[in-house]
Amino acid sequence: MESTSFLIVDDQPITLSQALKYLQTSGKLQPFILEILRQRILETELNTRKDLEINPGVIEQAIIDFRLQQQLTDPNIFQEWLINNGLDYPTFHQQVVFNFKLEKLRNIITEPRVQEYFIEQKIFLDRVVLSRIVVKEQELAEELKSQILEGARFEQLAQEYSVTDDRIVNGMMGPISRGQLPDALRALIELVNPGEVVGPIEIDEWYCLFRVEQFIPAALEGAVKQELENQLFEQWLGEKMQKLNIKLQVDS
C-alpha cells in the first residue's frame, strides 16, 4: 500500500511512517502517542456522557465576554483574529464548548475525592519556615545551643558560625514542605512553638540547629485545591489509558 504524504517540506513529502520514525529517534514518540490517547479518551467522554450538557446561552455569553475582554467586538477584527490563530468560527465555537465540558467533567471526576486526597497529601502541603545553624562538630553545635538558651541571638550566631550560604540572611531557609523534612527533624518541630530551637540534629555528617519561625498550614482552596484536582484528573486519565488495547500500525 502506498503511503500518503503527512507533510510537504521544501516540496518533498514526509510520510506518516517517516514522521513517527523521526519522533522515535528523538525520544518523543511516547509523549506524542500519550497525548493522542489522552485526547481520544477526552473526546469519547465528552461526546458520550449525558451529564456534561452545557446550556447554549452560557456558551454564547462566554464568547461575548471573551470578545469584549480581547477587544474583538468588531466583526472584521474578530475574523482577522480567527485567521491569525488558524481558526474559523465553527472551530472556535467548538473549542469553547470543549473547554466548558472538560471543566465540568473535571469537577465531576474530582469533587467526590478531593477532600480525602487533601488529607492524604496534607503533610506535603503544610509548610514551615525555618532558620538554621549548620556546623561540622557536635560539640560546637551543643555549645551554640547553650548560648541561645542563655540569651544569645540566633541570627548573630548563624552569621558567625554557620557554614551554609543562608548564613548571610541569618540562617533563614524560607518555607519548606513538612513532608520534605527528614523524619527526625519533622518529629521535633511538631512538638515546639514558633521561636523555639531544636537540635542539634545530625544530617549528612553535619550538626544542625533549627529555629521554627512560622507554621503555614494548607487549606483546601485556591491554588492548592486546583493543583489537587489536576492531579486527581490526571490519575483518572492514567487509569483510563491503562485499560486501552493499543496497537501501533503504520504503513511502511
Residue 205 lies in a domain: yes
Residue 222 lies in a domain: no
Quote the domain boundaries for residue 55.
5-118+230-242
C-alpha 21/C-alpha 5 separation (Å) is 14
C-alpha 203/C-alpha 66 separation (Å) is 54
136-152 per-residue burial string, b: 16 or more CB within 10 A, e: under 16 = eeeeebeebbeebeeee
State residue 250's pLDDT score: 62
State residue 251's pLDDT score: 57
Residue 225 lies in a domain: no
CA distances from 59 to 47, 54, 125, 143 (A): 16, 7, 35, 68
C-alpha 171/C-alpha 216 separation (Å) is 19
Average pLDDT over residues 127-147: 91
Q: Identify whether residues 238 and 205 lie together within a single domain.
A: no
CA neighbours within 13 Å on the CB side: how many for 99? 10
Task: Provide the CATH number for the domain around residue 163.
Answer: 3.10.50.40
Q: Identify whether residues 32 and 156 lie together within a single domain.
A: no
| Per-residue pLDDT tens over the stretch 193-203 | 998 998 899 88
Q: Identify whether residues 21 and 88 lie together within a single domain.
A: yes
Residue 175 lies in a domain: yes
Residue 252 lies in a domain: no
Q: Identify whether residues 207 and 235 lie together within a single domain.
A: no
| Residue 138 near residue 111 (C-beta atoms within 8 A) | no
Q: Identify whether residues 156 and 211 lie together within a single domain.
A: yes
Residue 185 lies in a domain: yes
| Per-residue pLDDT tens over the stretch 212-221 | 999 999 999 9
Residue 17 lies in a domain: yes
Cell of 195: 521561636
Domain tally for the chain? Answer: 2
Q: Identify whether residues 60 and 100 lie together within a single domain.
A: yes
Q: Identify whether residues 131 and 212 lie together within a single domain.
A: yes
Q: Identify whether residues 50 and 88 lie together within a single domain.
A: yes
Q: Identify whether residues 83 and 174 lie together within a single domain.
A: no
Inter-axis angle of helices 154-161 and 138-149, nearest 10: 160
Element (H, E) at 210: strand 206-216
Residue 92, judged by CB atoms within 10 A of its CB (0-12, 13-18, 19+), counts as middle
Q: Identify whether residues 64 and 149 lie together within a single domain.
A: no
Helix ranges (DSSP H) in the chain: 16-25, 29-48, 56-69, 75-84, 89-125, 138-149, 154-161, 183-189, 222-242
Mean pLDDT, rounded, of the chain: 89
Q: Identify whether residues 134 and 49 lie together within a single domain.
A: no
Average pLDDT over residues 4-32: 84
Residue 251 lies in a domain: no
Q: Identify whether residues 106 and 9 lie together within a single domain.
A: yes
